[in-house]
Amino acid sequence: MSQAAILFRDVNFSADGLHILKNITGSFTEGKITTLVGPSGAGKSTLFKLCNGLRSPNSGEILIKGKPIEAYDPVELRRNVGIALQSATMVKGSVLENLELPLTLQGKKIDIDFAKELLHDVGLAGDLLERNAKDLSGGQKQKLSIARTLVNKPKVLLLDEITSSLDRVSQHDIEELIEKINEKYGTTMIWITHNLDQALRIGHFTWVMMNGELIESGDSSLLKDPKDKRVQDFVKGEIE
Amino acid sequence: MSYLTLSLTLIFVLIPLILSRTLKLGLEKDTLIATVRSIIQLLAVGYVLQYVFEVDNIIFIVLMILLMIGAATQNARKKGASIQGITWKLVVTFVFIEVLTQSILLGFQIVPPTPQYIIPISGMVIGNSMVLGILFLNRFTAEVENRQDETELILTLGGTPKQAIHTQLITSIKASTIPTIESQKTIGLVQLPGMMSGQIIAGADPVQAVQFQLLILFLLLTTAVVTSILLGYLSYPTLFNKRMQFLKLKS
């Protein structure tokens, strides 16, 4: 049986007086793609920040590969649990400077051939390297953000609505890329998506979150026949 | 200057008062308060300084400097209220800059170790340090607020807090020190500095007045740069916790 890449035990998280995550218990299976679906404000992005060590739970336990998250050095943890955010924030500078940022932070330089290969993998042309990152379109920034996260070669990849601003063809390219990385390197993928078809298409497993709670989890096919009434309403599009 | 002549200078207060009244600017109350406060404060300082100079006792000099540091801290802390522990950070900065500058001035015998030199120079150093501190804190808190995404991005990629805040820190240090550096480029061309003008009016040799002014200018250059850097490096660690998580500024 596969080990849990990330395991949650009764995790609670509050901020600014709001109870954002409520008694989350569950796991993300190592080497598999798990999609995270649910209406806006369900706490999905916050859950990612907890996995990446950007926030700490108020109570409960998070185990990464069987070890409490607090036992990891934060820098090592974040290099191993990469996160690509929906905002696709760019720092001032060229595409190359943004792409090699994870290495710059370690005092290293990126190999240009590797940089071009990464851009190609995410569907960007290699000649974009010298372009100012701020001049890229929303979709191009999103792709660059994914490529940048891959530079650290993380064991777990957290993807926060990374295809929401992409056209259908680019969405398909990214889905293929994520599946390829997952198969080739056995990288555990956790993917927040609002697109239920996408969740069914690429996810091995699915978590459905609502209002800070994990309502249902299991094989992605659960989205076709959910047990919980709230999930049934969500799948029908009656809860946004 | 006789008291009669001094009282005639109030004409310069009457002009803005009359203009404010005529044009309904509503500045009369603030102008009067400012005038009364400046008269009381400066006269009080004048008498205190006269006493301290006569007594020539190190304790009084230290007390005067501590008073300046206290007042400067009180004034500047409001701008950095969102940074945890800003009061002691400002105190450390002002004490450090005062010790550094006085050590160089007195250690190399650039000025004699008398209250007539130590106190006014300390006033200029601490006063400028306070202004620089306010400029820095203003910019730094704005940079931190506006660039939270960048800070978190660098943390998510495995950067340290220092790397995550580096751009914001450097931008704020530069922005706060540039006015001092720029004003020194045009000094003497556009305006004569206050201290030098005062000395010349009081009958001092202009060349000697210029020499002292240069001393003060260079001193303030150090004050500006050291204040911003020190305050920056004392402030940024409080924006993160031990788990290298970015904490919001206090609201």
Our CA dihedral for A128, A130, A131, A132, rounded to 10 degrees, sits at: 140
Task: Tell me the longest C-alpha to C-alpha distance in chain A.
Answer: 52
**The domain spanning residue A187 has which CATH number?**
3.40.50.300
- Chain B: closest CA distance from residue A187 (Å): 17
In a domain, B248, yes or no: no
Question: What distance in Å separates the CA atoms of residue B136 and residue B227, rounded to the nearest whole number?
Answer: 9
pLDDT given at position A2: 67
Residue B174 domain flag: yes
Contact at CB, B152 and A54, closer than 8 angstroms: yes
Asked if the structure places residue A44 within a domain, the reply is: yes
Query: Is residue B95 located within the same domain as residue B217?
Result: yes
Q: Is there a single domain that holds both residue B67 and residue B5?
A: no
| 3-state SS, one letter per residue, for A144-157 | HHHHHHHHCCCCEE
Inter-chain residue contact B246 with A54, CB threshold 8 Å: yes
Q: What is the pLDDT of residues A30-45, one digit of tens each?
A: 999 999 999 999 999 9
Q: CB contacts < 8 Å between A and B, how many? A: 57
What is the pLDDT, as a whole number, of residue B196? Answer: 82
Q: Is A201 helix (H, G, I), strand (E, B) or coil?
A: helix
Give yes or no: residues B71 and B183 share one domain. Answer: yes
**Neighboring chain B residues of A83 at a CB cutoff of 8 Å:** 156
Range of the domain at A115: 4-235
Q: What is the pLDDT of residue B4?
A: 87
Distance CA B111, CA B118 (A): 8
Asked, for residue B250, whether it belongs to a domain, the answer is no
Q: Do B244 and A74 touch (CB under 8 A)?
A: yes
Residues B217 and B94 placed together within one structural domain of the fold = yes
Q: What is the 3-state secondary structure (H, E, C) of chain B?
A: CCHHHHHHCCHHHHHHHHHHHHCCCCCHHHHHHHHHHHHHHHHHHHHHHHHHHHHCCHHHHHHHHHHHHHHHHHHHHHHHCCCCCHHHHHHHHHHHHHHHHHHHHHHCCCCCCCHHHHHHHHHHHHHHHHHHHHHHHHHHHHHHHHCHHHHHHHHHCCCCHHHHHHHHHHHHHHHHHHHHHHHHHHECCCECCHHHHHHHHCCCCHHHHHHHHHHHHHHHHHHHHHHHHHHHHHHHHHHECCCCCECCCCC
Look at chain B and report how many structural domains it folds into: 2
Please check whether residue B16 touches A, CB under 8 A.
no
Tell me if B222 is assigned to some domain.
Answer: yes
Written as one letter, the residue type at B46 is G
Q: Side by side, which strands form the sheet with A213-219? A: A81-84, A156-160, A188-192, A33-37, A205-210, A213-219
Does residue A240 fall inside a structural domain? no
Q: Which two tokens stand for residue A18?
A: 């709001």
What is residue A1's predicted lDDT score, i.e. its pLDDT? 52
- Exposure string for B208-234, b = 16+ CB within 10 A, e = fewer: ebbebbeebbebbeebbbbbbbbbbeb
The answer to whether A152 contacts chain B (CB < 8 Å) is: yes
Within a domain: residue B214?
A: yes
Pair (B32, B46) in one structural domain:
yes
Specify if B168 maps to a domain.
yes
B25 phi and psi angles, rounded to 5 deg: -80, -20
Structural domain including B25 reads 1-55
Does residue B221 lie in a domain region? yes
Decide which of B37, B55, B73 is a domain's last residue: B55
On whether residue B94 sits in a domain, the answer given is yes
Of A54, A75, A149, the CB nearest to B160: A75
The three-class DSSP label of residue A21 is: strand
Residue A97 has pLDDT above 60, yes or no: yes
ipTM: 0.91
Answer yes or no: do B86 and B24 share one domain.
no
Maximum CA extent, chain B: 71
SS3 A5: strand
Q: Show the CA angle centred on residue B134, arms to residues B129 and B136, nearest 5°.
A: 90
Q: Which residues of A are less than 8 Å from B160 in CB distance?
A: 75, 105
How many separate domains does chain A show? 1
Q: What is the mean pLDDT of residues A9-23?
A: 95
Q: How many other C-beta atoms lie within 10 A of the C-beta of residue A46?
A: 18
Residues counted in chain A: 240
Give the burial class of B106: count Cβ atoms within 10 A of its Cβ; 0-12 exposed, 13-18 middle, 19 or more buried.
middle
Query: Would you call A79 and B158 a contact, using CB atoms and an 8 Å cutoff?
Result: yes
Give the integer Cα–Cα distance in Å for A92 and B171. Answer: 13
Residues 74-113 of A with CB under 8 A from B: 74-76, 78-79, 82-83, 85, 87, 89, 91-92, 101-102, 105-106
CA distance A147 to B21: 66
**Single residue among B55, B74, B90 that ends a domain in this structure:** B55
User: What are the tens digits of pLDDT across the range A51-63?
Assistant: 999 999 999 999 9
pLDDT in tens, chain B (251 residues): 788 888 899 999 999 999 999 999 999 999 999 999 999 999 898 999 999 989 889 999 999 999 999 999 999 998 888 899 999 999 999 999 999 999 999 999 999 999 999 999 999 999 999 999 999 999 999 999 999 999 999 999 999 999 999 999 999 999 999 998 888 888 877 777 877 888 888 888 888 888 888 898 899 999 999 999 999 999 999 999 999 999 977 77
Residues B186 and B202 in one domain: yes
| Domain contains A215 | yes
Q: How confident is the model at residue A199 (pLDDT cuts 50, 70, 90)?
A: very high
The whole-angstrom distance between B92's CA and the closest CA on chain A is 30
Does residue A79 form part of some domain? yes
Q: Which amino acid is at A160?
A: D
Sequence-ordered list of residues with C-beta below 8 angstroms from that of B176, at least 6 positions apart, any chain: B132, B135, B136, B139, B224, B228
Q: Residue A210 pLDDT > 60, yes or no? A: yes
CB-based contact (8 Å) between B152 and chain A?
yes
Interface test with A, best of B147, B153, B155, B157 (most A CBs within 10 A): B157
